[in-house]
Structure 1
Amino acid sequence: MTITASMVKELRESTGAGMMDAKKALTETNGDMEAAVDWLRTKGLAKAAKKADRVAAEGLVGVAVSGGKGVAVEINSETDFVGKNADFQNLVRGVTTVALNVSDIDALKSADLGGKPVELVVQETIATIGENMTLRRMAAVSGDTVASYIHTAAADGLGRIGVLVALKGTDNGIGKQIAMHIAATSPVSLSEADMDADVVARELAVQTSKALEENAASAKPKPEAVIQNNIIPGRMKKFFEESTLLNQKFVINPDITVAQAAKDAGVEIVGFVRMAVGEGIEKEKEDFAAEVAKALNG
């Protein structure tokens, strides 16, 4: 596969690796971007790339809470200007409220909003504003109480990042603090047991390859049993401590974990949602000169 300059640039931007290292990583992995990231991490040349670094979709996330249920909804738009549009904000707010009474995104699209299906209301808003929009996803949590938080708010309950935290017990204010923590740290899962098996397997493969390569290059290599039984498990433990909400150090008090902070407040965290506008959507990159030329020729 031909490795292009734009591929090298994208890998460099997402990992911080040098140009030659990025090019070699792509060559070694036949242009597979995720595999190239892992190759660089194995060599100690990059940190884990965050997919959010490659996100481009605009729009808003809306959150709503009623009783012991909370929902988050993302509606995408072509430009960030639309997020400030009153019609678009009303759309997101209305759809999010409707989402409190449905179970999934398909049911939401066909649910009633002002006497019309949500999907039709979205289409009518597209016609009104003149920009394409997509009702992309929804997520819900439930518990005795649900706390919410919006980061980079555009209006009440609307913003770039929406967080919900479901608690067992009576919330005395700790819920919002934990929600703010989640917005800042973006945990992968609630606990190790909840983490996607593919994510765990990928991290284990990276840490195993890295530990074995470092040991092979060491002037005093350790027995393989030490690598397999101590070094690799130790690195995976650190990964879980950094990636799972309950085991993360609480940003408001780093001396304790989030789980301990919740326990001290008399509650238990039973679920959470962190939804950021556009995460996981690849941006079609086009430089400014090409964009101008395209406009002139169009």
Structure 2
Amino acid sequence: MAVTAAMVKELRTKTGAGMLDCKKALEANDGDIDQAIDWLREKGISKAAKKADRVAAEGLCSIEVEGNNAVLFELNSETDFVAKNKEFLALLDEVGKALISAKPQTIEDALNVDVNGKTIETILTEGTAKIGEKLTLRRVVVLEKTDSQNFGAYKHMGGRIAVLTLVDGANEEVAKDVAMHVAAIKPKYLRQEDVSADELEKEKEILTKEALNEGKPEKIVAKMVEGRIKKYVQEICLADQQFVKDPDVTVDKYVKNNDGELKAFVRFEVGEGIEKQESNFAEEVMSQVRG
């Protein structure tokens, strides 16, 4: 029986599953809507679809390193409790090994990575149905290095924060020291030249208004703002920050003292930038009972 767009739409309305999954379900069941619904339930897709609009802002970040390649990624769940269970941790490990092998350059490529005949997207959909919370692969970064360079990998609180650094020369211990610094101090940029002119101009406007509101004379405000801008840039750039293990030197100087050069860093913190929903626990329980 030919599967029509109207049939796909009807199944999607009844189950909340995606169009492609609905089409597959109908094709697998010769166009029978009821059987297709059962098929989607058996695959865990229907159950997972009901959670598609939920906010997954918890979870863990992880790092996989293999030779001259490393991947840093964030896998989200809805609650911190689920992020600690064995099934989620096993999934985190499985996804990490698949990503380091495939080295995807975009999140779309990552979701399409094959794992034993299934895409990562399918595995997460099935995991959502099994675990009972929405699971999402939010972001992925792949770094490559040369034989003379070193990765620094560090995870804080089991992966609530994860940092990957790249240092030319030096050694892995130095690179990891820098990663620990990045985890603690949270720099925004590697060097001053990486800060955009727009950001500097915006900060200059804010600092100027701040100084004027403090009652400072206009003739000295420009000089004050110049000094504050310099301090601001030093505070947000990794190379210029005071090294946490030795505040007498900057991070750049620490690396250079160990015959190395800072090349790159990536810092992920679980849920950063995601607007978390405020939930009513009692209503949440009742919705589960009704559902």
What range is the shorter-chain TM-score in?
0.7 to 0.9
The residue number in structure 1 matching 2:221 is 227
Are 1:236 and 2:207 counterparts? no
Give structure 2 stretches of 5+ with no counterpart. Answer: 1-54
Are 1:292 and 2:287 counterparts? no
The residue number in structure 1 matching 2:124 is 122
The residue number in structure 2 matching 1:109 is 111
Correspondence 1:167-182 to 2 at 5 A: 167-171=167-171, 173-182=173-182
Change (3 A) 1:180 1:128: same
Q: Which has the larger radius of gyration?
A: 2
Paired AA for residue 139 in structure 1? V
1:269 aligns with one of 250, 262, 265: 262
CA distance in 2 between counterparts of 1:136 and 1:267 reads 32
The residue number in structure 2 matching 1:147 is 152
Are 1:251 and 2:244 counterparts? yes
Paired AA for residue 252 in structure 1? K
The count of corresponding residues between Structure 1 and Structure 2 is 229
Secondary structure in 2 matching 1:132: coil
Flag the structure with more relative contact order, 1 or 2, with Cα contacts below 8 A and sequence separation at least 6: 1
TM-score (norm 2): 0.73
CA distance in 2 between counterparts of 1:97 and 1:252 reads 32
CA distance in 2 between counterparts of 1:197 and 1:106 reads 31
Paired AA for residue 106 in structure 1? E
Contact 2:167 2:175 in 1 (8 A): yes
Contact 2:150 2:172 in 1 (8 A): no
CA distance in 2 between counterparts of 1:89 and 1:172 reads 26
Cα distance, 1:104 vs. partner?
A: 1.7
Q: Structure 1 vs Structure 2: percent identity of aligned residues?
A: 38
TM-score (norm 1): 0.71
The residue number in structure 1 matching 2:274 is 281
Deviations 1:95-131 (A, max 9, x none): 2222222212111110111221111111111111111
Contact 2:56 2:76 in 1 (8 A): no
Paired AA for residue 221 in structure 2? I
Change (3 A) 1:84 1:172: closer
